[in-house]
Amino acid sequence: MSGADNEVRTWLDDVAVAIGFGKLASKLPISVAPSTLFVGCGLFVDTILLQLFKQLTGRTATVFNNPFWLAIPVAVIAGLYINRELSRRYQTALSRVQINQRVSDAVQFDNLVSKRVRWLLFILSAGVIIINAIYFITIPTIVANNGPTGLIGNLVIVPFVYTSVIIDFIATYLGIQLILPRRLYRSEFELDFLDPERLGGLRPVGELVKHSYYYTVFGIVAFALFVYGPQLFGDLFYSPVQPSPLVNGLFTTAWLAGAAVMGYGLWVFHRFMRQEKAEKLQELNREYREVVEQPWDITNRRLPDSERDHIADLERRMDNITSTKEYPATFAMWTQLLIGIVLPKGVQLVLTTL
C-alpha cells in the first residue's frame, strides 16, 4: 500500500502519528501512510521477531506448529486495507454527489464517527483484552504455553496493534451504514431528479453502502473458513479458535448484525427518497392544479393557451420525479444483496456438515 495510500487520513493514521510513525514514514523513500508503517512494524514483531525468538530459545515457533496461524496477520492486513479503501470510497462518493453544493453544513460529513468515540472504543476493547489476559488466562499460563513472547503478543501486539485496526474498521463501517443515511435524511440534501440514471443522484452513496457490506460479508466468510475450515484437513491444521456453541453463536450474531445494519441503512435511503418524491410531487401538483382549468375532471380539463408552456414544464418535472427509482432499485441490486446475506451462513453450514 503506497502511492495512493496517503490519499486518505484515518483515525489509525492519527494514532500512528502520535507515537512517532508519521516522522518515520516521512523519511522513507516511498510514500507510506503512518498507519501502514505502524501495523507493518507490529506484524514484523509478531510474525518474525517473536517467532524467531521462540525458535532460538528452545520452543517451536507457532507458525511451524500450525501454519494456519498466519491467517491472523493476513486478516489484519486485509482489515487495514479495507478500512482505507472504504474511507477513500466515502470521500469519492461525497465528491460525486457534490455534497458541498447541496448542503449548507457539509462539515458534518467529514467525520461520521468522531475520533473521541473511536478512542473510547479502542480503550475499552484493549482494556478488556488485557484484563482477560491477566486475570482469566493468567500470566503464568501465558508464559508456560508461549514463554515471554506470549506476554508481548497478548499484552502489546493484540490489544494495541490488532485491536486498533479492528476498531477503526468497525467504526468506519457503522458510520457508512448507520450514520451517513441518517445525516443525509436529516439534512437539507435534495434528490437530483434530473439524474439520467433515475436514482436521484444517490448511486455513489448507495454503492458505497453496498460495497461496505460486501467487505463485511468477505470478513464473515473468512472467519467461517478460519474456524471451520481446518477440520477438513484432519491434524494438519487447526484453528486457534475452535468451533463451539459460543463461537457458533457469535458467528450467527455477527451474520445477523451485519445484515440488519445494512438493511437499516438501505431502508433509511428508501424512506428518504420516497418522502422527497412525495413532497416534490405534492408541491408541483398543487401548482399544476392552480393553472389548469377544471383540474379535477380529466375529461373536461382545459389548458389555457397562455400557460401551455408552463403546464408542459410542470408535467415534465412530475414525470422526472415519478420515474426516479428508490434505492435499491433493480432486481440485480436486490439479488446481489440477497446473495450477500445468504452466503456467510451457507458457507458455515456446508463446512460444519463436511
pLDDT in tens, 209-218: 888 988 888 8
| Euclidean distance between CA atoms 125 and 163, whole angstroms | 7
Of the candidates 258, 317, 255, 259, the residue with the CA atom closest to the CA atom of residue 283: 317
How many other CB atoms sit within 10 Å of the CB of residue 83? 25
Our CA dihedral for 66, 222, 261, 89, rounded to 10 degrees, sits at 110
Rg of the chain taking only CA atoms, in angstroms: 27
CB 152 within 8 Å of CB 50? yes
CA distance 144 to 65: 16
Percentage helix, strand, coil for the chain under 3-state DSSP, each rounded to 5: 75, 0, 25
The model carries a pTM of 0.85
Cell of 135: 486475570
pLDDT digits (tens, 9 = 90+) for 273-331: 999 999 999 999 998 888 877 777 777 777 777 788 888 899 899 999 999 888 765 66
Distances (CA, A) of 327 to 153, 248, 289, 336: 45, 33, 30, 13
Q: What is the largest CA-CA distance in the chain?
A: 97
Q: What is the model's pLDDT at position 236? A: 60
pLDDT at site 1:
45
Dump strand ranges (E) for 106-259: none
Check: CB of residue 42 under 8 Å from CB of residue 157: yes
| 3-class SS of residue 31 | coil
CA distances from 206 to 39, 49, 85, 258, 260 (A): 31, 44, 16, 16, 16
Beta bridge partners of 293: 302
CA angle, 224 then 123 then 213, to 5°: 35
**b (16+ CB within 10 A) / e for 170-180:** bbbbbbbbbbb
User: Angle at CA 283, nearest 5°, toward 281 and 286?
Assistant: 105
Grid cell at residue 251: 458467528
Percent pLDDT > 70 in the chain is 93
Which residue ranges of the chain lie beneath pLDDT 50? 1-5
What secondary structure letter does DSSP report for 114?
-
